[in-house]
Chains A and B, each alone.
Chain A
Amino acid sequence: MNEFLDLLGLPFMQRAIIAAIFTGLAAPAVGTYLVQRRLALMGDGIGHVAVTGVALGLLTGASPTWTAVVVAVLGAVLIEVIRERGHANGDVALALLFYGGLAGGVLVTGLAGQSGARLQQYLFGSITTISVADVLVTMALAAVVVVVCLGLAPQLFAVSQDQEFARVAGLNIRFYNLLVAVLAAVSVTVAMRTVGLLLVSALMVVPVATAQQVTRSFRTTLGAAMVLGMLASLGGLLLSAYASFHARVAPGPTIVLLALAGFVVAWPVGVFLRSRRRLRRPFPVVEVAAHEVIDEHPHDHGRDCGHVAVRHGDHVDYVHDGHRHAVHEKHYDEH
């Protein structure tokens, strides 16, 4: 345990922790709007395009982070344009960029004379090798993403929910669509060092999917997703650091698997809560011509009798075996 705490005190580890917290907050914030537009895989598409950006950085000697930002933004805008005017569906547009981006990246890395291992740092993340300058860039970009996502939440919500309505409300929907695309591209490059380009989308989408198992409003979904993303990315980093004394454990995949574990836990809870809510929802009060009277009933219904009690107008129906039994004087009515 002591050597673990010593490890946490090391500068590279502290940089990694800061980067993990900021990425974990920023990625799900954009991810929520992407999921709302049913574009959950957009982050993945941008991630693949950014591979080419990183490779261009390696080729030209420029900072791979910045070339990745530029190329990812271009890719995101391209996806948006294809989606807006294209005959191709959004998912086809994404598929085209997936392949183009990844193939281009691998090809250009080869041209640059760099090994696959160098590229792999960006593909699967290398949060523990992050430099001070990188941490500052990560913090600044993540802060911009979070501030815009929360500050413009009413506008982004309306545009993602219903474009036509938003447009008639006087919003410039093209601007907001592009803004979401650019925010997604920026958070992809922010998360690049943490979980890597190929796993980036997980951090944007999985916390949202987890949150919406148990939420019913947009605000709580957004907030819960950000908290879950932060917990997953910080927890994954610490977990991999702790495990590193026993085995080689990469932080990127650990973060993603931890986020998925959260979903695995939340999913049955959500299913259970929803089915319980559905069962307990009051029956509608409808005038019915006749109902049967059950004379013989071997069981006394009541509070804690074990059967689901559902409100039905001014009384309670007890639900069992496909029946709805309501107490009426000394017998039960079949409702």
Chain B
Amino acid sequence: MSAPTVVVELTNGAVAIAGRPVLRGIDLCVRSGEFVALMGANGSGKSTLVRALTGLWPLATGTLSLFGTPLASFHDWQRVGFVPQRGGAGSGVPASVWEIVASGRLARRRLLRPLGRGDRAAIADALEVVGLAHRARDGVSTLSGGQQQRVLIARALAGEPELFFLDEPTAGVDLPNQHVLADTLGTLSRRGATIVLVAHELGPMAPLIHRAVVMRDGRIAYDGPPLTDHQVHLPGFGGHVADVAMAHLETHDHGHHHAEPERHDHAPHVASPLDQLDEDER
């Protein structure tokens, strides 16, 4: 058997938001069939990285290829499924669960063609996998937060992609629903899908992960075998306060303890340029 093909390859990637470099020097390579967790504290750049990998944020420098094709000439978007970080699946007009999931077929549909039998089967299968087939005709806003998150996953699933990007799918989801999500992702992974998951905490998904990538202040601080949630938030990764030193992890930290989690915006919000500057900006 040949070696797994490289699905996502980012070399020396950097992303600037509003002129401020946010991600720097990112080298990331994801192989076919891998389940990668992108972890890190709030503000470490993990969501920005996944948005760069999906082409939502342009790269300031570096090269990104999906399925071996440079992003600029990549058009096979039906091979990519994306679950964005959203408060819920609703919008200003009622929409049924089925309709939201059906919009996941879009990348595979031609303009002005109705849904075919294959499309409907894929939609039904996606609803089945997330366990919401019985709610298909219900308005999506009547579902709980965890169920709405499952609807968004089903939408990505409906396109039958090979590569999934999920941005914090478990944020604000209760434990039973997290287990359902973990089961769903386990099913996908066993079917051979490549999964890149952004997560603050893994919870029930921890056993599924093949590899962890930990972000810290816009750089990759760790890339290797899975870590526990606890390890990720050690000071070496710029997370929360922790007293245990990790001997086997190479850290770039000076070993001091942060009194509280560092909080900084990627692109500081400048609302009133004429107002006085902070002390340290003078």
Residues of A within 8 A of B (CB): 32, 35-38, 40, 151-152, 154-155, 157-158, 160-162, 164-171, 208, 212, 215-219, 221
Most buried by B among A158, A215, A221: A158
Evaluate contact between A217 and B94: CB separation under 8 angstroms.
Answer: yes
Question: Which among B75, B96, B106, B156 is the interface contact of A154 at CB below 8 angstroms?
Answer: B106
* Dominant SS among interface residues on chain B: mixed
CA distance A29 to B232 in the complex (A): 50
Q: Is B109 an interface residue (CB 8 A)?
A: yes
Closest CB-CB distance, B273 to chain A, in whole Å?
11
* Dominant SS among interface residues on chain A: helix
Q: Is B129 an interface residue (CB 8 A)?
A: no
5 residue pairs bridging A and B, Cβ less than 8 Å apart: A38-B92, A154-B103, A169-B78, A169-B82, A216-B94
Evaluate contact between A221 and B93: CB separation under 8 angstroms.
Answer: yes
Residues of A within 8 A of B106 (CB): 154-155, 158, 166, 169-171
Residues of A within 8 A of B156 (CB): 165
Residues of B within 8 A of A (CB): 51, 54-56, 75, 77-78, 80, 82, 84, 86, 91-96, 98-100, 102-104, 106-107, 109, 111-112, 137-139, 142, 152, 155-156, 159, 165
Evaluate contact between B103 and A158: CB separation under 8 angstroms.
Answer: yes
Number of A-B contacts (CB under 8 A): 95
Residues of A within 8 A of B94 (CB): 212, 215-218, 221
Q: Which 9 A-B pairs have the closest CB atoms?
A: A170-B77, A216-B139, A168-B82, A217-B96, A36-B93, A158-B103, A218-B95, A169-B107, A164-B84
Residues of A within 8 A of B155 (CB): 165
Given the interface contacts A157-B99, A165-B82, A169-B159, does A217 sit within 8 Å of B91 by beta carbon? no
Given the interface contacts A170-B75, A208-B93, A216-B139, does A161 sit within 8 Å of B56 by beta carbon? no
CA distance A282 to B226 in the complex (A): 41
Residues of A within 8 A of B55 (CB): 167-168
Evaluate contact between A32 and B96: CB separation under 8 angstroms.
Answer: no
Residues of B within 8 A of A167 (CB): 55-56
Residues of B within 8 A of A165 (CB): 82, 84, 103, 152, 155-156
